[in-house]
Every structure is written in C-alpha cells, then in structure tokens.
Amino acid sequence: MDCARGFWRWLRGRPRNPRFTYCPSVCAVVAGFNEEEMISHTLAGLWGSYPRLEIIVVSDGSIDDMSGVAQQFARTHSGVLVLSRPERGGKSSAMNFALRYTQAEVVVVIDADSELGPQAIWEVVQPLRDPRVGAVAGCVVARNSFTSLATWLQAYEYLSTIFVGRMVSAMFGILGIVSGAFGAFRRDALDKVQGWDVGPPEDLDLTLTLRKIGYRVAFAPYSHCLTEVPTTWKQLIRQRMRWEQSGVVRNHCRKHSDLADFRNANFSWSNLFLMVDACFFSLFCPLAILGWFIWFFIAGPDNGGWILLTLYLLYLVFEIIQVASLLYFSNNLRRDVPICMVFFLVPLYQMLLLVIRLVAIWGETVGRWSFLDNYVPAKVRKATWKW
C-alpha cells in the first residue's frame, strides 16, 4: 500500500508533505571530543528545529576549545546546556552523564560533527507514538559525497544500506541498529537498561539490549542526518575495521546471543530472525565467498575470466535493482541521482569491504581486537568485561 500510494503521488507530481501530530519533549545530546571546528555549525542547525527541544552538549575531556565555542553559542540561545568533563571517558560515558540533566520524554543522540535536515527531529520522534517502540533510527547520509572516489562509494553505500536497507529491515521487524550518529530513544527505555554500555559499538549494543527487553525498533527514512565520511582509503579501512571487529562477533555471537534463546522471557521470532540475518550475511557469506575464491584460484578453471565477468555482470543487475528502489523512495533526486552513477564500481568496492570483514572477524575471534581500540580510553577498556 505504501508503494502504491507513493507511486500515485509520484505520477501526479505531488511532493511528500508529512503531517506531524506527535510532539513529546526532546533532549538532544551532542557528545564529542575535540569538535571545536564543527560544534557551532551543528548547534546552529539543531537549535529551533523543534518546539519542545533542549540541547545538552558534552565536551568529553576535549583539549581544544569545544566547550568554549559551545558556551558562546549557549549564551545567545536559550535551552542549551554545556557540560565539560575534565577527563575523557568515552562516548557512552558522556551520554550517560548527560541523562542526569534532563527529564525529557525522548533523548535524541547526535554526533558533534553532524548536521540534521530541517524536519529531522519531527520525523524521528513520530514512531515513538507507539509505546512498544523503544528506539528510532534516523537516516544517515554522506555530506562530503564527491570529495574523493572513496567518499562517493561510501555515499552510495549509505543510501543503499541505510536508506533502503534499513527501510526493508524495519518493515520485517528485524532492524538491529540505531546509528550513534543520529537516533531517538524513549527515556523510559533508557532508564530500564541504565543507558549505554561501553562501546564500540555502543549504538549496536544498546539497540540489541532494548530489543532483548521487548521493545521494537523503528526507522524514520526521511529523518536525515548529514555526516562526514572518511576521505581516504586508509581512513576508511581503519573505520571499517573498528565497525566490523566490534559488530557481529562481539555483540551478536557473544554478548547478545541470548536474543535467540527460546527460554528468554521476551523471546520473539523477529529477534531470532535478526540473529540469523546478521550471522548469515556477516559471517557465513564472507567465509563462503572466501572458500569459493580459494577453490577458484587453486582449481584454475579454463574459463575463469568468463566466470568472473559473469559474476560481475550479475552483481550489476542486483545493483541496478537497488538503484531503482533507492531513486523511487528518494525525496532528493538532485542529490541521489549523481551519487548512484558510481554503481558500476560497487562490486570492486564490496570486495575491499569483504577483505576488511574477514580480517576483522579473525582478529575479534582469536584476539578480541575490539577491546584494544583507542575509540574507548585505555582506563575504561581495562575496566570493561571482555565479552
């Protein structure tokens, strides 16, 4: 029905005109470390975008003037509270610290270097009208799409995996992550799980925890958050190593394996399917592809070149379908059409991500690499339970 209504609206040339009827009190938490250059821009785009909004900025042990810049903004804008912590405790600790200073019904988390769309807060809180929903994922898109080939491919990846992919996951009830860059949480739900645990990735961990106690997770596809993606291949590889090594092995297979436990009081088939989906696509498929490539290069079939070309063309067919879906649901074709023009390079890009994933899986399985990542201060890492 949604597709039919959308198609009819598109045929008649009618723009999407949402109605916002749910208006809870909202606290936007902007936690960061050394974000002096971006914080004023982030706050300027956020302030005044929603009627019942308070903003808390947490400078988490920053050694630049992030706190000073934020305080300067707060002096001329009501409803902005700036908290400065002398020592860095990590993002989870900073956000938990902010919870002490608000009684808002909804807590919205925003990265300090991100920028929200004009109606992003309105959009992201609407699914929370349903008391069964504990968290809502916003749609994160790349702001620096055409800085380099690496950013162009990431921009396409964000649109296909976050915008379209999470729309599909939410439709089937198996959405398993609310991005730390932008997401909304029911305050009561946060209190029940005592906030964020130590990451990375604290966003995935919290989402799975909320699902485990019975909450649903929704997606707001038109609640856009623009973020800077890595501009070089080296930066991209480092980022994805952190994401992958702290993802499915650490959280799905270790910490939250009881999501698939029938004895759990809040067991649901959707949580079981979520676990199967994560393990199949993030563990089984990469290992199966690795095994196939090993066989391929050892066996060395005479028509190997044609086999690889056929696989590449089949992959492109899938990407064309993906592009068509993406553009159909897009509300910003001027932005999205140029981004989609890179689709023919996506199979090669995915091969790079596959190699990163395999290395990360190995490292986390045998060495728990995620607990060595400087994303979390060393003193916090040492005090954290090693799942």
Provide the residue range defining the domain that includes 23.
2-232
Residues 63 and 187 in one domain: yes
Are 371 and 310 part of one and the same domain? yes
Domain endpoint, select from 232, 266, 287: 232
Q: Does any domain span residue 212? A: yes
Q: How many CB atoms lie within 10 A of CB 45?
A: 17
Peptide linkage before 201 cis (omega within 30 of 0): yes
Do both 69 and 195 map to the same domain?
yes
Q: How many degrees, rounded to 5, is the angle at CA 233 between CA 229 and CA 235?
A: 55
| Tokens, residue 153 | 């491919």
Decide: 30 and 112 in contact? Cβ < 8 Å. yes
Rounded Cα gap, residues 209 and 244, in angstroms: 19
Domain-located, residue 19: yes
pLDDT class for 14, splitting at 50, 70, 90?
very low
Sheet bearing 216-227, strands edge to edge: 80-85, 53-60, 26-32, 106-111, 182-186, 133-142, 216-227, 115-116
b or e along 258-282 (b: 16 or more beta carbons within 10 Å of the residue's beta carbon)? Answer: ebbeeeeeebeebbeebbeebbeeb
> Is 147 found in the same domain as 265?
no
Number of compact structural domains in the chain: 2
Do 199 and 292 share a structural domain?
no
Asked whether residue 55 is assigned to any structural domain, the reply reads yes
Residue 8: pLDDT over 50: no
Q: What is the pLDDT of residues 42-71, one digit of tens each?
A: 999 999 999 999 999 999 999 999 999 999
Residues 224 and 262 in one domain: no
CB 289 within 8 A of CB 280: no
Model pLDDT, residue 66: 95
> Does the residue 309 lie in any domain?
yes
Q: How far apart are CA 318 and CA 102, in angstroms?
A: 46
Confidence class of residue 347 from pLDDT cuts 50, 70 and 90? very high
Segment 156-170 shows an average pLDDT of 96
* CA distances to 109, 286, 359 from 158, in Å: 19, 20, 22
Asked, for residue 244, whether it belongs to a domain, the answer is: no
89-111 residue pLDDT tens? 999 999 999 999 999 999 999 99
* Residues 166, 304 share a domain: no
Reading the block at residue 264, the tokens are 């759990």
Do 325 and 226 lie in one domain? The reply is: no
Q: 264 falls in which pLDDT band (50, 70, 90)? A: confident
Together in a domain, 311 and 351 = yes
Please determine, for residue 301, whether its predicted confidence score (pLDDT) is greater than 90.
no
pLDDT interval class at 16 (50, 70, 90): low
Asked if residue 152 and residue 12 are part of one domain, the reply reads: yes
- Domain end residue (candidates: 186, 215, 232): 232
pLDDT at 327 over 80: yes
Judge whether 124 lies within some domain. yes
Q: Quick one: DSSP state of residue 167?
A: H
pLDDT band of 302, cuts 50, 70, 90:
confident
CATH number of the domain bearing residue 192: 3.90.550.10
245 within a domain of the structure (yes/no): no
Residue 17 confidence class, pLDDT cut points 50, 70, 90: low
Regarding whether 217 and 328 lie in a shared domain, the answer is no
In a domain, 387, yes or no: no
Same domain, 264 and 318: yes
